[in-house]
Amino acid sequence: MSFPARVFSGIQPSGKLHLGNYLGAIKRFVPLQDTHNCIYCVVDMHAITVWQDPEKLYNSTLEVAAAYLAAGIDAEKSIIFNQSQVVQHAELAWIFNCVARMGWMQRMTQFKDKAGKNSQNVSLGLFAYPALMAADILLYKATHVPVGEDQKQHLELTRDIAIKFNNDYNVNFFPITEPLIAGETARIMSLRDGTKKMSSSDPSDLAKISLTDSADLIAKKIKKAKSDADNLPFEVAGLKGRPEADNLVGIYAALSEKSKQGILDEFGGKGFGVFKPALAELAVEKLAPINKKISLYLNDKKQIEDILHSGAERAREIATKTMKEVHNIIGFVN
Ligand code: AQP
């Protein structure tokens, strides 16, 4: 059986959206609407795997939805909703908890990174997170998932869960989802340390550019971004061993939709004194209109809530059908 092409992706409302979320995910969601049926979720149930202040969670949920709309996701064409409104996500996640093996989950590097030395004290939900992510995707039988490179391992687990479910029950029910990961700029790194990914939980505000930062703040953060003393190379190979230079060139490339080589053709041989102001100007030019639109959407919270409600209704229709079939396959009495 072949599966109709469908895209699913989600973002956690767990802090301010940053440039990594934008370039690795949101920006790439938009053109997919022309070729696929798309479902874009605000994954609030993932967010509570670590403590979230309720008022902040509520506001961040609206902010992620506003960012989707501001970036150009069309709420009529695509489905935009928040995960907790469609209870079938939790239901399928439980079933996948019974399909996934402990050994698979214990290999997840994101859990190891986030739990660190505190693994006995973090929530069970943080450990089970990838099974919920598999449920998010497979509830809609999504065939393609645009994500940043940091999510690659979770996508592989989603494929393993689908394969095991199909084999265990001798069905061809879930598709084997393909990750859509951007090439050379799939992972945007911290502005303070080019070996660490840009992350909302980074304690340093200078390490990340938020989509709600003012133009002045964006320029300041790029000016203060860690770099090195050498000029930019003429070839991409010359960025090897220079993580901060590589990251800044990658950000320029992703914002301008060019290759890194294309950027080095322009800036090779120039120093950061020239490159950083050009990058700051480009970042402000690309991000300021989104920033402005996010604020406009957030002025009308009722409108965003309405969009999330009607998106959830459309998502629920698909989810209900999937779960009915899953119940039959498993042998649950309906
Ligand atoms: N640095 C990044 N570069 C490229 N893509 C990124 N993504 C996140 N960070 C980068 C992509 O953004 C989407 C949503 O991510 P998420 O909501 O699952 O959150 P996350 O990956 O946990 O993001 P953070 O900011 O890094 O959160 P914390 O600090 O909690 O770990 C995904 O497609 C992700 O790949």
Q: How far is the CA of 247 from the centre of ligand 1 (A)?
A: 16
Residue 119 has pLDDT above 90, yes or no: no
Mutate to test the pocket of ligand 1, among 9, 145, 150 (most ligand atoms within 8 A of CB): 150
Query: In this model, does residue 116 exceed pLDDT 90?
Result: no
CA of 182 to the centre of ligand 1 (A): 14
- pTM: predicted TM-score of the whole model, two decimal places: 0.94
Which of 7, 14, 21 most suits a substitution to test ligand 1, by most atoms within 8 Å of the C-beta? 21
pLDDT per residue over 44-74, tens digit each?
A: 999 999 999 999 999 999 999 999 999 999 9
| pLDDT confidence of residue 299 | 97
Dist. CA 269 → ligand 1 center (Å): 33
Single-letter amino acid, residue 16 = K
Which of 112, 199, 209, 210 most suits a substitution to test ligand 1, by most atoms within 8 Å of the C-beta? 199
Binding pocket residue ranges, ligand 1, CB within 6 Å: 11-12, 14, 18, 20-21, 24-25, 147-148, 150-151, 187-188, 197-201
- Residue 4's pLDDT is 87
Q: What pLDDT does residue 117 have?
A: 83
Count the Cβ atoms, other than its own, within 10 Å of residue 166: 16
- Of 42-51, 184-193, 320-329, the one with minimum mean pLDDT is 184-193
Q: What is the mean pLDDT of residues 113-120?
A: 88
Q: How far is the CA of 199 from the centre of ligand 1 (A)?
A: 6
Distance in Å from the first CA to the final CA of the chain: 25
**Domains parsed from the chain with CATH numbers:** 6-176+301-330 (3.40.50.620), 205-295 (1.10.240.10)
User: Is the model's pLDDT at 83 over the cut of 90?
Assistant: yes
**Distance from residue 158's CA to the centre of ligand 1 (Å):** 17
Q: Work out which ligand 1 atom sits closest to the CA atom of 148.
A: 35
Q: Which atom of ligand 1 is nearest to the CA of 10?
A: 14
Model confidence over 246-264: pLDDT tens digits? 999 999 999 999 999 999 9
- pLDDT, tens digit, 9 for 90 and up, residues 11-35: 999 988 999 999 999 999 999 999 9
The pLDDT, as a whole number, for residue 184 is: 74
pLDDT per residue as tens digits for the range 198-235:
998 899 999 999 999 999 999 999 999 999 999 999 99
For atom 23 of ligand 1, the residue with the nearest CA is 199
Measured in Å, residue 163 CA sits from the centre of ligand 1 at 26
Atom nearest to 201 CA in ligand 1: 29
Distance, CA 325 to ligand 1 centroid (Å)? 32
Residue 1, pLDDT score: 67
Ligand 1 center–CA 147 separation, angstroms: 8
Which of the four pLDDT bands, split at 50, 70 and 90, describes residue 2? confident
Q: Are 13 and 63 in contact (CB under 8 A)?
A: yes
Q: Can you give the pLDDT at residue 251? A: 97
